[in-house]
Structure 1
Amino acid sequence: MASGRQRVRGWALGLGAVVVASLAACTPDFEASWEVRDLRLLALQAEPPELLYRELPPELLSAGEGPAPVDPVRLTALAADPRDPEREVEWELWACTPEATGCREARRRWPLGLDEAGRCQLLAEDAAAPRQRSRLEAITCDFVPTLALLVASLEADPYRGFGGLPVVVELRLFDGQQVVPVFKRLAYTVPLPYSPVPAGKEANRNPELAAIEIDGVRWTRERLATELPRIPVAAKRELLPVAADGAKESYLVVTTGAAGERADPLRAPGVQQLEEALSYEFYVTAGALSHGRTGGRGSTFITDKKVTDLTSTWTAPLAAPSQPIRFWVVVRDDRGGASWVSFSATVD
């Protein structure tokens, strides 16, 4: 992607980019993206969001079988269903090559099973995926790719691993006949002859939220976990997410080629320092939000996008509900990192 006079293959293009399935797939018709009324899959976190290796393990790109010699990545879903917050749900997980937006259209894909230790195990390519069953807050597993998946991903990647090697995972939840998907590109940074790891580059970390300010009153994560904000009916409250110190990182990327040129892997690579842009997503079970997303980078295609003003105004329902209202605030960087805060509030 062009940046200044150089072409940059940063994590935002693939290796760490969180890509959520279309709102049509995850949001019922005529329902705002921030409105959570039934089963929703709001985010998928990888911990860590990037694995970085300064030396290439010799067996990493071999044609061998079995798990790759890399550390596990903990995958954790943020799933919600206000109809029954304690419910169990069926789900399945896939891993695939990165040339498509998800695993259904990928050239090669593998279903994953779950062992007793909570590890994802890649099964036979194109086999039927076994369905797991978990409570909504317990959809998690530890993922390690196989050598075959890494080699296939390198071959399918249009950049041939320049700037990092992407692997896609896709989670699907099942609610009757409805399928609720989300997919994510995992980041494996390894040195290649045409794509060295820049000296001083550090692996990406998931950004964290320190607090939510409600009309200027700071509610820390710890306070939100033990105390419910009380809000009058029909009242308006301004929600401001507060990122933790160090959540917004500077990072190094490998570059090659000038603006407007096709990236040339034979050209000596350069290095450029960039800074993350944090974005925030708001979800709620009742009332109305002025904005479902704030922050991130500006866009010439979205004229009403809030970039510098990170607030979203919530209007409480006209009548007090019988149950507390649930909120979720998700913070994302533009390299695949994500985390969230959830809390409840009473309206009376």
Structure 2
Amino acid sequence: MKALLESCGLSLLLLGAAACVDVEDQPSRVFDFRVLGIATEPPELMASACEITQETLDELSSDVTYRTLLVDPAGEGRPIQYTLWACADREDRTCANASNRVLLSEGATVAGELALSVRPGASTLAEDIPLLQRVQELDPYRGLGGLRMPLVLRAQAGDEVVYAQKLMVFWCPAVEGMRVNEQPVIPGLRVDDVAWPAEAPLELRGAGPFVVTSEDVAALQETYVVPGLRLEAVTLRESWEISWHATLGEFAPQETGGSSFGGQEGRHRTEWEPPAGAQAQEVTFWAVVRDGRGGSSWVVRRALWSP
């Protein structure tokens, strides 16, 4: 499992009653059933050595907490049926190939954060073939850059069906200095430079736009080591991205952070604007952070907004 770094993120496939999407629809405006984020804790598993031994196999088979953020603002608490698969092929976004998948969990829940304890690294296919072995066989780089196992969630609320894929990362210390990724966590949010508490809704008045920012994350972005093409140690630095969502109005920009081609990091500053003519109401906001390496988390905030 050696080095060619690849972004490990979240891909979504939405299937439902609607045949098309309004061209004016914005990802930041949450009005229907969807998955806003997926995280694994830890965000990756790293064996203590690259030699294949029972100890290293056990390390890659450790328990993982799979978390997903299910939102259903118009569902009125309706049940959500879910199935979670560990799969071998990243191109199979719905994990439809039964010969290349292992069932990790299934059940029913409601909107909110769903947390499941799973062991994807211990999954085996027919004839006791390790799923990780099949992942490596289907990887065009044959594990160069680590192994990325797709975890595919199918969630259904009423007639609406969502598939969401998260790549679980498996590594070994191929070069000196490699260490396990730490989960990115947003330290706090502010609105018009006022701290936004998690415990109670913040009162907002007027037409806006309201400036929303994250507390400084610069000191939290990790410097990390990956193997290069010649198996030399390459040092990189994270540049977190935050996507912004709300049950009313729109964010602009809808995603902040990241880096330009010149290496300039973007600020985590956005503006939220409620729609003209809207009535006073409680609004739910989500900020989902991703570190570009497979790490992700989110925070939820609420506001009592009035025109």
Q: Same fold (TM over 0.5)?
A: yes
Asked if residue 104 in structure 1 is aligned to residue 99 in structure 2, the reply is no
**Which residue in 1 is equivalent to 2:202?**
229
Q: Does the C-alpha gap of structure 1 residues 216 and 68 become closer, same or farther in structure 2, counting only changes over 3 Å?
A: closer
Letter aligned with residue 185 of structure 2: E
Q: CA deviation at 1:176?
A: 2.8
Q: Does the C-alpha gap of structure 1 residues 281 and 112 become closer, same or farther in structure 2, counting only changes over 3 Å?
A: same
Which contiguous aligned blocks of 4+ residues in structure 1 show a shift greater than 6 angstroms?
none
The partner residue of 1:36 within 30, 33, 40 is 30
Q: CA deviation at 1:274?
A: 0.6
**How is 1:120-131 mapped onto 2 (pairs within 5 angstroms)?**
131=106
Letter aligned with residue 177 of structure 1: D
Letter aligned with residue 82 of structure 1: P
The partner residue of 1:9 within 4, 7, 12 is 4
Question: Which has the higher mean CA deviation after the structures are superposed, 277-286 or 224-233?
Answer: 224-233
Letter aligned with residue 332 of structure 1: R
Letter aligned with residue 35 of structure 1: R
Q: CA deviation at 1:330?
A: 0.6
**Which residue in 2 is equivalent to 1:186?**
168
Q: CA deviation at 1:285?
A: 0.5
The partner residue of 1:209 within 186, 191, 199 is 186
Letter aligned with residue 148 of structure 2: P
**Which residue in 1 is equivalent to 2:45?**
51
Say whether the 8 Å CA contact 2:44–2:170 is kept in structure 1: yes
Q: CA deviation at 1:299?
A: 6.4
**Which residue in 1 is equivalent to 2:143?**
161
Letter aligned with residue 58 of structure 1: T
- Where 2:112 maps in the other structure, the secondary structure is helix
**How is 1:313-332 mapped onto 2 (pairs within 5 angstroms)?**
313-319=271-277, 321=279, 323-332=281-290
Say whether the 8 Å CA contact 2:28–2:245 is kept in structure 1: yes
Percent of residue pairs identical: 25
**Which residue in 2 is equivalent to 1:141?**
116
**How is 1:290-301 mapped onto 2 (pairs within 5 angstroms)?**
290-298=252-260
The partner residue of 2:224 within 241, 245, 251 is 251
- Where 1:226 maps in the other structure, the secondary structure is coil
Q: Does the C-alpha gap of structure 1 residues 70 and 54 become closer, same or farther in structure 2, counting only changes over 3 Å?
A: same
What is the TM-score of this pair, normalised by structure 1?
0.75
Give unmatched runs, 5+ long, in structure 2. Answer: 125-129
Q: CA deviation at 1:278?
A: 0.5
**Which residue in 1 is equivalent to 2:305?**
347
Q: CA deviation at 1:152?
A: 0.8
**Which residue in 1 is equivalent to 2:127?**
none
- Where 1:280 maps in the other structure, the secondary structure is strand
Asked if residue 89 in structure 1 is aligned to residue 80 in structure 2, the reply is yes
Say whether the 8 Å CA contact 1:95–1:103 is kept in structure 2: no
Q: Counterparts of 2:153 and 2:55 in 1: how far apart (Å)?
A: 25
What is the TM-score of this pair, normalised by structure 2?
0.84
Say whether the 8 Å CA contact 2:4–2:228 is kept in structure 1: yes
**Which residue in 2 is equivalent to 1:334?**
292
Q: Counterparts of 1:103 and 1:271 in 2: how far apart (Å)?
A: 35
Q: Counterparts of 2:265 and 2:67 in 1: how far apart (Å)?
A: 27
Letter aligned with residue 222 of structure 2: E
Q: Does the C-alpha gap of structure 1 residues 177 and 285 become closer, same or farther in structure 2, counting only changes over 3 Å?
A: same
Say whether the 8 Å CA contact 1:164–1:187 is kept in structure 2: yes
Q: Counterparts of 1:255 and 1:246 in 2: how far apart (Å)?
A: 25
- Where 2:131 maps in the other structure, the secondary structure is helix
**How is 1:240-319 mapped onto 2 (pairs within 5 angstroms)?**
240-244=213-217, 246-256=219-229, 268-298=230-260, 308-319=266-277
Q: Counterparts of 2:44 and 2:10 in 1: how far apart (Å)?
A: 15
Q: Counterparts of 1:310 and 1:108 in 2: how far apart (Å)?
A: 43
Q: Counterparts of 1:68 and 1:150 in 2: how far apart (Å)?
A: 13
Q: Does the C-alpha gap of structure 1 residues 226 and 69 become closer, same or farther in structure 2, counting only changes over 3 Å?
A: closer
Aligned residues: 292
Q: CA deviation at 1:309?
A: 3.2
